[in-house]
Structure 1
Amino acid sequence: MNKSKTLPKRSEIPNEYKWRLEDIYPSDADWEKDVQKVKQMTEEIASKQGTLAQSGKQLLEVLTLQDELLKTLDQVYVYARMRRDEDNANSTYQALTDRATGVSTQVYSAISYIQPEILAIPTEDLKKLLESEPGLEHYRILLEEIIRHKPHTLSAAEEAIMAQVGEVANAPSKIFGMLNNADLKFPMITNEKGEEVELTKGRYTQFMESKNRRVRKEAFEALYSTYGKHRNTIAATLTAAVKRDVFYARIRKHPSALEASLFSDNIDVSVYDNLIATIREHLPLMHRYISLRKKMLGLDELHMYDLYVPIVPEVEMEIPYDQAVSTIKEALRPLGEDYGQVLEEGFSNGWIDVYENEGKTSGAYSWGAYTTHPFVLMNYQDNVNNMFTLAHEMGHALHSYYSNKTQPFTYADYRIFVAEVASTLNEALLMKHMLDTTTDKQQRMYLINYYLEQFRGTVFRQTMFAEFEKMIHAKEEQEEPLTADSLSAMYRELNLTYHGPEMVVDSEIDLEWARIPHFYNNFYVYKYATGFSAATSLAKQIVEEGQPAVDRYLDFLKSGGSDYPLNLLKKAGVDMTSPEPIREALAVFKEMLDQMEELAGIQ
């Protein structure tokens, strides 16, 4: 697949490589029925305003109705958005997504009274309501969480206004998404064979891994020149997103946008700061890796477009999708028979949308509704990186599967902080399997290089992103202007610091901030680095302890959002309030770096 010079249309992709969204709704007409159902429930729940303190029975009725409403809304929104993701140029599903977004805003406006109304009930009276209605015991954790939010919750009228501005607040992300996925057109470039081929975001990674330096440089410059033409527009959308974050933090009486973001997970800002401080302390390891890469590539100068090409060029590791599937299943055997059976179900029964097509949303994700199995979007290319991405997304998918199967809807939705643990642990076990089964020296070097690259991208790079986010939000909080120039200047300084003296930091990379979708979901990316660290520790425990560690891990997957992330990880065997898991992960990076230097004969 994907060997042609231009992308295939959606209709040209074989059905066996498409996800089966009919498992959510057999037809758009069935989707429409649930839209109407959501509207009816929205009217019903809105009519209950002012009744929550009347009795335990009344409070239970509203909370139960809220669950049913949100569960159905979730299904409505997921279907519309995932249909649009198949082809962003499809106007039918653009319209359905817009409608789902509009309905979502109406729902959250209608239920916005619930939290402030519960908070208005005196604590002693709330206890009496709990005692009077046994069914409310199910909502005890939810009610305690609402009380924790009391200092940051507004009046019912103010909360209704905040809910109504939700669609407007999401505008920066939506505008960027449409520009990035539908409107941006990249030029043709000349590939290794001298053929003119279309540059796409999906193919960009392949070009960055090309042995031909001219191809890498041409793709790099073509990509960033395209974003450069829109630098001021994208700076405006990102600045709007940052202003939104700061606005919400101030309105809800948080000390900063960072602390507002961490509050929902009940995570102290020291966890975020510890990550940045620990990584900065170990930047000499990153600089040592940059030096190794430069030597192994035999370059006088190492440029940013030289960061992704394998430093073991003699090894070809083309991995077709079907081979990736069988390798992942074998690698994840340590997680037990039950995990393996669910994994097989996912690979065989319409969970995954495999290949890139014209208009399809770029990248990869796992998503779905509580009422159905999870889904995985891929843009699969036949290489090691995409095999690991597939393992990563299936980690998310099985986390969702176990959580939804075990937890009620109220507590099934796990936090992003722990989500990256499940995905990255799969990658860690896959890497161990690959190294354990590979005796060829060159292939081992290739795989170690891949691990070093994954670590660089997931820990060092995401921490750099996290530091950038902290900087730009601080600038806005200090009322300093954010422009394309100032964003690029900050981003350049970070690249110089993180990559060290032996890296030529090309001017094009100053614009990388302009193509990172995660920056529109504030203070998200640090969780990749903390997740990688936690996953490294848990994978080690699974390999060394066996069944007891597997049982703890599966219990963690089944826990969903029934407790705060740091508590769930402690039960699984990792304490993320300490910098130790990050240091342990860095020790593994150093060990792999030592091995690579020894195998390559470089001191």
Structure 2
Amino acid sequence: MRLLYVTAAMGLLLSSVPAADLHAKDSSLPPSQSTNRRAPMTQLLERKQVPAEHKWKLEDLYADQKAWDQEFQSVKDSLGKISAFQGKLTDAAAVKQIFQLEDEISLKTERLYVYSNMKHHEDTAEPTYQALSDKAKKISVEVGEALSFVSPEILSLSEEKLQQLVNDPSLAFYKKTLEEMIRQKPHTLSKDQEALLAQAGNMAGAPSTIFGMLNNADLKFPKIKNEKGEEVELTHGSYIQFLESRDPEVRKNAFHAVYQTYRNNKNTIGATLAANINKNIFYAKARHYPSVLESTLFGDNIKKEVYTNLIGTIHDALPQLQRYLKLRKKLLKVDELHMYDLFAPLVEEFKMDITYAQAKEEVIKSLAPLGENYLKILKEGFDNHWIDVYENKNKRNGAYSWGAYGTHPYVLLNHKDNLNSMFTLTHEMGHAIHSYLSDENQEYRYAQYTIFLAEVASTLNEALLMDYLLKRVTDPKEKLYLLTYYADQFRTTVFRQTMFAEFEMITHEKTEQGESLTPQDFSDIYYGLNKLYHGNDMVVDQDIEMEWARIPHFYNSFYVYKYATGFSAATSFAKQILDEGAPAVERYLSFLKSGGSDYSLNILKKAGVDMSTPEPIKQAMSVFSSLLDQMEELTK
């Protein structure tokens, strides 16, 4: 199944998804053709009111509902073909045929799943596409169940026979698949057991589905007063705007209102998160892994030490984070720095208003170091409805890149005319072009790159955009604004994601040890980590203990550490590209074209970044320290 790639950047610290980034402002019209500015409104647009030029074109996947229904029926009809191979996978010819059939059915199922969920994300309260999404999930489970015998049946062959298949010329294309099967053999169950686990797929997805519906459709925030004293709607999308207010009371009230809303639902959300952890433990035990963490790392062939070394390296760097927080306190000229002050503008009387059209132009210019072909793909995405641009009522919050093999990728945004939205745009287009180049250069079976690699391309784009902006800035206030923004990317994408990763590790370990975690246990763990990371020089407000309840990534467990490792790898790539030019660009483009043709660490190492060591993380921390040096120099 094609993976969903979402933005970490600011969203994970604020609202997140499996992912998510941030929402655009709660009240806005799409920009007019004359000014490209959006006029403020008191309510969000209905989906049907959004102009076509600001919507993605899902017709490129399916022309209409009839086409989707026909492909759905085609998959249903193909399930019988799969069963005909059961008990017959004893020679190269049969193995090749089942692999070919598997690819054919899996691609169709991927298309069905991606389309139905993207339609659902346009308006999460629309029952038609809630049902279609559910229908796609169920057929995905049926396909998984039907194919569940393939691996255990092949692996039941003798070692001699398995090696013959690996070395058979007619199966040369599938050699990597067979070798990976053998690697997975200790964790592959019998045919009956695999079928049973496949049947449990719908139940396994329940915690994430329940949280998503509660968070995106049912949860309602109260109205709060803005800077003018007017009562306005608080939404996922407007929350970040309120935290960026220059009025500390507005920031404080938005912060309290959001977390009081989650506190009012803590028992439901706590039970949902606990159920997700227990689900993970069930699958890890069923497949004979030592722990959930090791089970999730195994697929990417990542050792546990990569995860624990990340946490250890970041712990060593916490003084740098706390140094930044002291600088933020100084620049805000406050006696106490609160959690709701972490997004307040630091530069007085300086605001960057960047329309969507302007953002596209700046992104194009900033990515020029990657060459003409890269820019050609980027412009194609901008000009041909790959992107769903603005927030509308009940639209899925955040930002992501997704798609299906054989058609171009798609990007969901909730764009707001600010710097963060410009970075979100280049971030998601990094994902999209990574997918585009992988699909263009790899066959379906090997095109899908891993989540471990996913955040490299997106964050590399952000690094090049920041370099472009900093090289052209002349106003000291603007430079300080940009440096602050970049420092916040380190804070949120490295430090914060690592804190999330540590929360996941602690909560899973405690549950694996037999503890039953209550909502208050989740809050206590989360609050303690915030105290550790942010230090004693800022006020860690008690409300922050409820933030665990609003992070959708926790339902895509042990995902977020990859933001920190990806950011570090991207920092290294960016330095190489800017220092070396063409040779480094060629290595990087080869990385983008590699898809999943090798293990993640190997692909990165071939391109010049060795993530098996803590060095890229240390390099990233060195860059962070240099940013602080520049900021301190500007504020003497």
Report the TM range for the smaller structure's normalisation.
over 0.9
Cα distance in 2 between the residues matched to 1:192 and 1:46: 64
The one-character-per-residue Cα deviations of 1:163-192 (angstroms, maximum 9, x if unpaired) are: 000110110000000000010011111112
SS at 2:45 equivalent:
coil
Write out aligned runs for 1:355-434 (5 A). 355-434=390-469
CA RMSD of aligned residues (A): 0.9
Structure 1 residue 56, shift from structure 2 partner? 1.2
Alignment correspondent of 1:31: 68
The one-character-per-residue Cα deviations of 1:470-514 (angstroms, maximum 9, x if unpaired) are: 000001011111111000000011000100111111111000000
Cα distance in 1 between the residues matched to 2:348 and 2:153: 64
**TM-score, L = length of structure 2:** 0.93
Which amino acid in 1 is paired with 2:151? Q
Alignment correspondent of 2:486: 451
Alignment correspondent of 2:123: 87
Structure 1 residue 12, shift from structure 2 partner? 1.5
Write out aligned runs for 1:574-589 (5 A). 574-589=609-624
- Residue from 467, 470, 473 that aligns with 1:435: 470
When residues 129 and 564 of structure 1 are mapped into structure 2, their CA distance, relative to the original with a 3 A threshold, is closer
- Residue from 152, 174, 177 that aligns with 1:116: 152
Give the conservation status (yes or no) of the 8 Å contact 2:167–2:175: no
Write out aligned runs for 1:244-259 (5 A). 244-259=279-294
Bigger relative CO (Cα 8 Å, ≥ 6 apart): 2
- Residue from 512, 517, 528 that aligns with 1:477: 512
Structure 1 residue 314, shift from structure 2 partner? 2.0
Which amino acid in 2 is paired with 1:90? E
The one-character-per-residue Cα deviations of 1:270-293 (angstroms, maximum 9, x if unpaired) are: 100110000000100011111111
The one-character-per-residue Cα deviations of 1:138-179 (angstroms, maximum 9, x if unpaired) are: 100011001000001100000000000011011000000000
Cα distance in 2 between the residues matched to 1:273 and 1:316: 39
The one-character-per-residue Cα deviations of 1:253-300 (angstroms, maximum 9, x if unpaired) are: 111111111000000001001100000001000111111111110001
| 2:151 aligned with 1:145 | no
Write out aligned runs for 1:180-191 (5 A). 180-191=215-226
What is the aligned length? 599
Write out aligned runs for 1:187-206 (5 A). 187-206=222-241
Cα distance in 2 between the residues matched to 1:130 and 1:13: 53
| 2:520 aligned with 1:464 | no
Give the conservation status (yes or no) of the 8 Å contact 1:56–1:130: no
The one-character-per-residue Cα deviations of 1:342-375 (angstroms, maximum 9, x if unpaired) are: 0000011010000000010000000000021000
| 2:573 aligned with 1:538 | yes
**TM-score, L = length of structure 1:** 0.98
Which amino acid in 1 is paired with 2:366? A
Alignment correspondent of 2:634: 599
Which amino acid in 1 is paired with 2:467? K
| 2:365 aligned with 1:330 | yes
- Residue from 290, 296, 321 that aligns with 1:286: 321
| 2:55 aligned with 1:18 | yes
Alignment correspondent of 1:551: 586
Alignment correspondent of 2:19: none
| 2:575 aligned with 1:528 | no
SS at 1:504 equivalent:
coil
Cα distance in 1 between the residues matched to 2:560 and 2:339: 21
The one-character-per-residue Cα deviations of 1:230-264 (angstroms, maximum 9, x if unpaired) are: 00100000000001111111111111111111000
Alignment correspondent of 1:9: 46
Structure 1 residue 197, shift from structure 2 partner? 1.3
Which amino acid in 2 is paired with 1:34? E
Give the conservation status (yes or no) of the 8 Å contact 1:395–1:422: yes
Cα distance in 2 between the residues matched to 1:309 and 1:522: 30
Cα distance in 1 between the residues matched to 2:585 and 2:165: 40
Cα distance in 2 between the residues matched to 1:131 and 1:104: 32
Cα distance in 2 between the residues matched to 1:313 and 1:350: 38
SS at 2:406 equivalent:
coil
Alignment correspondent of 1:312: 347
Structure 1 residue 398, shift from structure 2 partner? 0.3
Cα distance in 2 between the residues matched to 1:239 and 1:341: 46
Alignment correspondent of 2:309: 274
Alignment correspondent of 1:590: 625
The one-character-per-residue Cα deviations of 1:72-106 (angstroms, maximum 9, x if unpaired) are: 00000100000000001111101101110111110
Structure 1 residue 130, shift from structure 2 partner? 5.0
Alignment correspondent of 2:260: 225
Structure 1 residue 129, shift from structure 2 partner? 3.9
Cα distance in 1 between the residues matched to 2:136 and 2:470: 46
Give the conservation status (yes or no) of the 8 Å contact 2:166–2:178: no
Cα distance in 1 between the residues matched to 2:527 and 2:163: 55
Structure 1 segments (4+ residues) deviating >2 Å: 126-132
Alignment correspondent of 2:200: 165
